[in-house]
Amino acid sequence: MLVLSRLVGQTLSIGDGIAVHILEINGSHVKFGIDAPAEVKVHRAEIYQKIQQRQKALAQSESMP
């Protein structure tokens, strides 16, 4: 895992097409914006886990006779 420190207004680049902008820091909360190509899906971890669970359940139900 890469750990970085950034200040408000700074940007982190990932590859050629993804930029993470630090918009606001308020105590222990950080607000950031993400610029990414439309084909790159960006989700919060808890939402991504739910999507994966639904896809797994759907695949299992489709494989049942």
Per residue in 14-54, pLDDT tens? 999 999 999 999 999 999 999 999 999 999 999 999 999 99
Q: What are phi and psi for residue 27, nearest 5 degrees?
A: 65, -120
Identify the band that residue 65 occupies on the pLDDT scale cut at 50, 70 and 90. low
Give, as one character, the DSSP assignment of residue 37. Answer: -
d(CA 47, CA 17): 23
3-state secondary structure of 2: coil
Per-domain residue ranges for the chain?
A: 11-63
d(CA 50, CA 62): 18
What pLDDT was estimated at residue 15? Answer: 94
